[in-house]
A and B are shown apart, each in its own frame.
Chain A
Amino acid sequence: MAKKCSYLKKYFELREGPQGLYPEPLLWKEGPEMEGFAGNFFYTFVTKPTQFHPVEGAVIHPYNEVLVFASLDLDDILQLHGELTIELGEEREVYTITEPSFVCIPAGLQHGPVKVNNVERPFVHFAMGIEGDGTYQAECIAPADLKDPVPGEKYAHLIKPLRTNMENILNDPDMNPEKLMAEMEEQGVTFGSGMGYEALMDNKGVLRSAFVQMGPGNADQMVWIFGNDMEDFNLNFSWGFYNSPGKWHRHGEVHVHPEEEILIFVSLDPDKPLDFGAEVELGMGWDDERIVISRTPGLYVCPKGLPHLPEITRWVDRPFGFIVCNIDSGHASPWVETDEDGSILDSEREKDFGF
């Protein structure tokens, strides 16, 4: 019998994007393809000089969007190894990006194209459009209608480095490293470094969760961006490299969020975009169904209020990429009370159905 939550798993296909947005096929989904998720998602490798978003002209969306330019350097997630420019505003202010970055595009802001001038080694671009009706929508500005590009500073605040803001981690009640480490210590977990919060995050803004035994399957390197880093967008997202089998969170079993999210698994190999080289399982729903994504890049749609986890990497042939895209400025994720076998207590459960 099919599992109740199976339909919340979606696989990607390599396909042409919306007309004129990207020059080559890429991985992408709109909200209606993700069970009505209030957002859209695009993911592509950048391997050579190119131009996209859009291919020519500029676009305006009726929703907030974040454009991310992320590293594929498994030794240092803070190195982009490339150079690109992006045009922002009706003024066509041109900004140059040389490190992993994200660009906040408030609804209604004319933007694009992104011009990649130099690629020393491949990197990744992904985009998330949120808080619309989930479909990709754009008003397109033709090249002939654009003003001449100019250098500028007006929109500089929208371009930010792709690294974790330490304050957000410390202030999040569910992610505070001191709290997490206290919980882990209760379980007898010891730490090699013996330092404080730096054990979880280095002073450059990279979370090294697996290193400090948050969970053996957790990230080797990860960055997490919150809404207050993104012009108060109702979004928090992560980008990380994962290379170890095992449970991702050894100090808890099942949690919930007040807002929905998508958990995205992607390849880090531009030559194998449709094989992320691993198999993962996610506990979903009140009955702890285990839903598996294997090899083909895909995602889980996690409805708000629906318990999910544990997340477990069953096996991994090579490092893969993982993105959290959560429609909330913070990442509130309280644990749900379970019995000693990890089953959710009945008293926690509203008498609903379907899940």
Chain B
Amino acid sequence: MIQKEKKILVSRQYGNKQISAIGLGLCGLRTLAGHFKKDEAVAALGKALESGINYIDLGFPELCPDKALLKAYGALLNNADVSICVKANVLKLTSGEELTVQLRSCMEAYGITKVTFLQLYGVNRTAWNRIRGNGVLQKADELKETGAVENLSMHYTDDRFYLKPILQEGIFDGISIELSAIELPRNSGSLKIAGDFHLGTVVTGALKNGCILSELSLKDAICAEFFAPGVSSVLLELLTAEEVQKAVEISETSDRGKDYVRAQLAAKKARDAFYKKREIQCEVCRCCMPCPEGFNAPRIAELYNEALMFDAPEYSALQFEIENLAGKECVHCGKCQSKCPREFEIGTIATKAAELFRSQLKEVNCCDPRRV
């Protein structure tokens, strides 16, 4: 039997693992929105494994419209030497027991038996305070202590200044942040903060579900993050073998000296073009908060801006659902608008956005409980 020689992609440290500098995301927003063909998606995973991609993020299987796809993925993963990351959505969890249930559900959905990284998804300044008190953090720590998971990471979604006190607790082995051409100036600082604690960072959203490619080449979109200091892996949701092939080729042939400056220049032009489509230039400073009703207007407005920038409201709607933003309503007290330094009608915009997202979710129908 001839054994295929496995390619080794550039690898970088993350937790206690050396992971490939390109990672594969499964069950991301493109999948949840139904933009995939099952055979092609499974072939993409096969191609990724064959190419040496060894960091696989399992996404949001509870929202996946095709459960058979998950089983097909799992069959491949169980025969591969890879690091598997399972998400625990802290924006929805209310107890340590729920965390355990979510972990088990994910493993069962895929049919996998090991978890390399348990990622606490959606950590921000308010979620962090909540999970410290409701047992989620404690349970996550226990799962690591008992060896049920090898590493604990978090997907961080807030301003970098709130990251340091979290990392000072010494619980996490790595972090993940959203970093595309859009977030490059805003979120690059989190790479530095993580680096201060000798933690690697997996970056997500580089392609914005493919939408960024209307203004930016695939190579520049990847290189702008691939070479950013402190990045361990660029996580991509790739749904065909061809997409995987292209991403791997870019990672293998790109050169920091030649490509990083050029990629950032292209990223800036793309960012400027996208920003013109936003309804408000809100930088999510959160001066408008706290809301007496708990309505997360700045985050909803940010998702609305993304929907406009990329002309893809379904992705923002899915994110709205994932982040559990639908549960609160604006009562139009005007407090947020009176505190906004730029005097945006942020409550009004967020209310409009929330209505849009709710109607979009009905169309996407990924939240049909019969699918869970």
Contacts and interface: CB of A to CB of B under 8 A. Distances in A.
- Say whether A associates with B: yes
A333 B342 CA distance: 9
B228 interface: yes
B188 A351 contact: no
B159 A31 contact: no
Majority SS of interface residues in chain B?
helix
B341 A257 contact: yes
Contact of B186 (A38, A63, A108, A333): A38
B189 interface: yes
Interface in B254-282: 260-265, 267-269, 282
Interface in A124-160: 130-135, 137-139
B193 interface: yes
A256 B340 CA distance: 10
Given A36-B160, A350-B290, A354-B164, A107 B265 contact: yes
Contacts, number: 127
Interface string A317-340: 000000000011000111000000
B341 A352 contact: no
Interface in A284-327: 303-306, 327
A350 B158 CA distance: 13
B188 A133 contact: yes
The winner among B160, B192, B289 for most chain A CB atoms within 10 A is B192
Interface string A234-258: 0000000000000000000000111
Nearest to A337: B339
Nearest to A346: B290
Contact of A134 (B164, B189, B268): B189
B125 A259 contact: no
A23 interface: no
A350 to B, nearest CB: 5
Nearest to A4: B165
A346 B372 CA distance: 42
Nearest to A174: B341
A139 B261 CA distance: 7
The winner among B129, B161, B193, B342 for most chain A CB atoms within 10 A is B161
A233 to B, nearest CB: 11
A65 B128 CA distance: 36
Contacts of A60: 261, 265
B287 interface: yes
Contacts of A32: 189, 192, 195, 229
A336 B156 CA distance: 27
B162 A304 contact: no
A327 B159 CA distance: 15
B290 A303 contact: no
A36 B188 contact: yes
A177 to B, nearest CB: 19
The winner among A36, A107, A134, A351 for most chain B CB atoms within 10 A is A36
B283 interface: yes
A15 interface: no
Given A62-B268, A133-B188, A353-B125, A257 B285 contact: yes
A130 to B, nearest CB: 8
B265 A108 contact: yes
Contacts of B128: 353
B188 A137 contact: no
B184 interface: yes
A263 B89 CA distance: 38
B185 interface: yes
Contacts of A276: none
A351 B285 contact: no
Interface residues of A, number: 45
The winner among A37, A132, A258, A348 for most chain B CB atoms within 10 A is A258
A139 B262 CA distance: 9
A351 B339 CA distance: 16
B103 to A, nearest CB: 27
B265 A351 contact: no
Given A35-B189, A137-B260, A350 B125 contact: yes
Contact of A332 (B192, B228, B342): B342
Contacts of A328: 283
Interface string B131-170: 0000000000000000000000000000111101100000
A305 B125 contact: no
Nearest to A134: B188
B162 A132 contact: no
Nearest to B298: A305
B186 A133 contact: no
Interface string B113-129: 00000000000011011
Interface string A64-101: 10000000000000000000000000000000000000
A191 interface: no
A272 interface: no
A108 to B, nearest CB: 5
Given A132-B184, A133-B188, A304 B193 contact: no
A353 B265 contact: no
A63 B125 contact: no
B20 interface: no
A349 interface: yes
A137 B228 CA distance: 12
A348 B335 CA distance: 10
Contact of B283 (A64, A107, A135, A304): A304
Given A7-B164, A137-B261, A354-B165, 9 more contacts: A36-B190, A62-B262, A133-B188, A137-B260, A258-B287, A349-B290, A352-B126, A353-B165, A355-B161
Interface of A: 7, 31-32, 35-38, 60-64, 107-108, 130-135, 137-139, 173, 256-259, 303-306, 327-328, 332-334, 348-355
22 contacts: A35-B193, A36-B188, A36-B189, A36-B193, A38-B186, A61-B261, A62-B261, A63-B264, A132-B264, A133-B191, A134-B192, A139-B261, A258-B282, A258-B340, A303-B159, A304-B159, A306-B161, A332-B341, A334-B339, A348-B339, A354-B125, A354-B165
9 smallest beta-carbon distances between A and B, as pairs: A36-B189, A62-B264, A354-B165, A332-B341, A133-B188, A305-B285, A38-B185, A258-B285, A62-B265
